[in-house]
Structure 1
Amino acid sequence: MRSDRLLSILLLLQTRGQVPASELAERLEVSARTIMRDVEALSTAGVPVYTVRGPRGGIALLPGYRTDVTGLTADESRALFVLLSGSAHAELGLGAALASALRKVMAALPAPHRPDADRTSRRIIIDPVRWRGTSGPAQPDMSAFQRAVFEDRRLRLRYRHGRDNRVRTYTLDPYGLVNKAGVWYLVADRDGEPRLFRADRTRSATVLDEPVRRRAGRELADVWEGLRRGIEELPAEVAVTARVRDETLPMFLRLHAADLASTGPSEEPGWTRAELRFRSVLAAQPLLAFGPDVEVLTPDDLRRSLGATAEATAALYRPAGREASALSGRGDGRRRR
């Protein structure tokens, strides 16, 4: 409707200042000629709008023509713009309504708070859907992440990888933070390539004095969407059921938090049942590191694979020939004494 478009033009001008007619046309999905007609209608209605000609020209409002919402603090203004992932609103048919509402709120904010609110909307995403049913860990200290994100600084991270538990150090260029079903992730470039880092695997985080070096034209939402799709479209995972000795359980949970779906009581005392998800049978091989303290119950092909690996490993250390006889003799001697 034209009335909605006129209001959108007014709010965009209040928020942005001078805006080229071509940009307004693109944002509102109409022609530049339509925008000029709408500007004329606003002027006729008494709105102090004017045009500036030339290559740096555009459409603007006379200074002071705006309405402020009083009483909002800077933190309150930021909080208004930490929103659920836009896909949730799109699924309800409310994507356009959300964009319009944000323009109205942004235009009404006190002028000093607008930059922080806009930055928050581009740096924070809340995504409530879990990664294929996994549970979330305890929350880490997020202060260094927030500083790097809001101050547009590079970040030096000492990070423990889930696949091999090795700790490595990286210098990163953050785009922002994503909360995925209660788990915080840092979205950042590492050597110019997009990467995802779980905040709870961070050993230390240092904000550097260097300004961030993001790739031009890339925003958090775009980079996150590419990373998310890359994870969601991986081949189907291998569902694993295992039992873990209770005295080994704390270490097991620390090392396999990323793979764990749930835990529960086992039928046998002294054991806990664990449900896990691995990308492949090969990715589940580290379970052998726990020896007899962890037993895979299903699937059968993983049991066979682990059994064959255990037998091959035992064969490497099994004494043979004279060595075996010598060891046997020493053992008999000890028993005789």
Structure 2
Amino acid sequence: MRANRLVSLVLLLRQRGRLSAATLARELEVSTRTVLRDIEALSAAGVPVYAERGRHGGFALLPGFQTRLTGLSQDEALALMVAGSRRGTQVFGLGSALASAMLKVVDALPDSYQETAADVAERLLVDPETDLLSRRRTAEEIPDAIVTEVRRAVLAGRKLRLRYAPVDRAPAWRTVDPLGLVTVRDQGYLLATRSGADRTYRLSRVRAAEALDEPAQRPDRIDLGRVWQERGTRFRTGGDQVAVHVRVDPGRREELVGTALAVRSEEAEPDGRLRMEVTFQDARHAEWALWQLATSAEALAPEWLRASLHDRATALAAHYGASGDGR
């Protein structure tokens, strides 16, 4: 990993000129102390990098320095293959590999093309963190060590040992045969089988992962898109699902849709609110989702859900209406 970082450091200096230690540390996702050690290592290896002191100082390469450091690592090549989805590189833990690979790609271009490529890059923005209403995406945070181990098992075709925490249940270990990774709206999923049965795991709920030496039991080829669609269909149509009619504030629509399994119907009412029919996994899921929206949503049906939310709100009001002195 350090060798790749040293290559990236040289390419950053080649393409962007003089850079401060703080800027290099930010780009390489390391500490400034690590950058200084890397600079010393490059100098010892004969790379003509020098320091300029002062307010606008930093590190730079001697003018005209050329090198052939554009060989892509396995992770960098993989990152380029999924670069069509910026979210995919982040969810699968390939963000830094993509940045390193793109440095090598740009460095391999003729000098006349490098300036054009930089100008084009400045005029294209893909998938920003917020939309025009300043609503931020809620990307999942998955530890690098976990996603790296999961990815290694998927790509190497090895069994995977997971410590997984389902909703409202304690984490437990299980061994699975991984099939592939899927990212949807910044949420990552592992498709796998366990004792021959289909299983889908949310990556953010994996607490630990270990790729085993034993080969996974899985087909040699897979149409991941078809498998994902089939599992989604079974998930939406199976089990004890609950259909709910609800009125919701348009500003909270995405939160409702994000927790529901499916939207069956939707129409705007004269007062601007939305009347929707949505499905949830079960009764507990429906109650939890509507409770999160508080007064921004109203469950119209079924009646038992209205009653359940009413009872919960009454109990909460009674609790806070009592004396706050602990008696």
Report the TM range for the smaller structure's normalisation. Answer: 0.3 to 0.5
TM-score (norm 1): 0.39
Q: Which has the larger radius of gyration?
A: 1
TM-score (norm 2): 0.40
